[in-house]
Structure 1
Amino acid sequence: MIVLNGGSSSGKSSIARALQEILPGVWLTFGVDTFIDALPGRGDSPRAGITYEHDGMITFSAEYRTLERSWYAGLSAMTAAGAHMILDEVFLSGGVGQESLRSTFGNTGMLWVGVHCAADVAASREARRPDRAEGMARQQALSVHVGVSYDLEVDTTDRPAEECAWEIATQLGVQAPYPIRSSDQ
């Protein structure tokens, strides 16, 4: 399993789609947006248990958290049955979210990837997306990484998603068709 963690509009979904095209075999992509889309009103109903604050903060009800645990348990069962998975996540609680995911997935081999993007760039991307609440990208750009440890970190501020995906794929032993410029160069 590959876990991509980054703030809203950081490029995680684009990287996940690119990884599906370049990794050998079939890789399924799921994430927080997939889960939210399955909730009442695609997350916009009061019954969904999500409150979007004006400053970009998000809070969740106890019912939401119960459903979220069920969601992760289902995904864990899929990986245990042999599915290759790319998880597109936003750890709003930083390292606490990572530890929760680790405990749910148990012995599943996981590659932890931090997806970074400058707050101004992410906010600009967010402004072009009708499905995002203003302020989320700026608020999450740094906070989702607090206390999270990664095997690899990529930055989409000035790099296309495909290049970041190839950097991740090479970490998994896939030979890139061209030299990869890593994020730390």
Structure 2
Amino acid sequence: MDVIFLNGGSSSGKSTIARAVQALLPEPWLAFGVDTFVAALPETGGGIEFGPDGEIVVGPEFRRLEEFWMAGLAAMAAAGAHLIVDEVLLSGGAGQDRWRSALAGLDVLWVGVRCDPVVAAAREAARGDRIGGMAADQARRVHAGMAYDLVVDTTATDPDACARHVVAALKSAS
């Protein structure tokens, strides 16, 4: 397997699961999150807008830059790096299709990271570094039209247990 792809809404636990998966695997896996990509965008002209209610709107410039991001990660995986991608596919299945194209020829384990919207919203509020409303808005939307190899639910399952499920699925797929 070349890539573990974690898709879930904000505050669903993807980054924590990614770190736990890294700790469980004997060889190094690099984790890259969509937050890293968004932080790399210029403050203006990056094609992304955050509404006061947590809504995220992306435009053509964002999509163009996102293509570069995806191609870069795919090139790393094609060169032999094992990757964990931590993503929030706002467009659900359409986003998965873009990633499938970018990752063509690579073995990918597609993992849905679900969390009850109320629980995700409470985590979001506790973090204090997110726009309120983002987690609840994304909790279900990011999974629309998606096809997964594995789904974990962090509502009542801790990240370490979810990571163990991911590693077990990875081993059975290899």
Q: CA deviation at 1:131?
A: 2.4
Which amino acid counterpart does residue 61 of structure 2 have in structure 1? E
Is 2:13 the partner of 1:11? yes
Q: C-alpha distance in 2, partners of 1:18/1:168?
A: 10
Could you give the per-residue CA deviations for residues 37-79 of structure 1, whole angstroms, max 9, x where no partner exists? 2122xxxx23332111233221113222111100110101000
* Separation (CA, whole Å) in 2 of partners of 1:115 and 1:129: 18
**CA-atom RMSD in angstroms:** 1.2
In 2, Cα distance between equivalents of 1:15 and 1:137:
17
Report the 3-state secondary structure (helix = DSSP H, G, I; strand = E; otherwise coil) of the residue aligned with 2:45: helix
Q: Secondary structure at the match of 2:129?
A: coil
User: C-alpha offsets along residues 133-152 of structure 1, whole Å, 9 cap, x if unaligned?
Assistant: 11000000001000001000
Deviation string 1:69-115 (CA, Å, 9 cap, x unpaired) is 00110101000000000000011000000011001110100000000
Q: Distance in 1 between matches of 2:49 and 2:127?
A: 19
Q: Is the 8 A contact 2:9 2:138 kept in 1?
A: yes
Counterpart-to-counterpart distance in 2, 1:32 and 1:110: 17
Aligned length: 170
Which of residues 1, 4, 16 is equivalent to 1:2? 4
Partner in structure 2 of residue 117 of structure 1: 115
Give the fraction of aligned pairs with identical amino acids, expressed as a percent.
Answer: 55
Shift of residue 24, structure 1, vs aligned partner: 2.0
How do residues 1-185 of structure 1 correspond to structure 2 at under 5 angstroms?
Answer: 1-40=3-42, 45-173=43-171
TM-score by length of 2: 0.94
Conserved? CA contact 2:45–2:61, under 8 Å: no
Q: Which consecutive residues of structure 2, in runs of 5 or more, have no partner in the other structure?
A: none
**Helix, strand or coil at the partner of 2:52:** coil
CA distance in 1, matches of 2:169, 2:16: 18
CA distance in 2, matches of 1:52, 1:37: 13
**Highest relative contact order (Cα 8 Å, sep 6+), 1 or 2?**
2
Moved more, 22-31 or 52-61: 52-61
User: Does the residue aligned with 1:113 lie in a helix, a strand or coil?
Assistant: strand
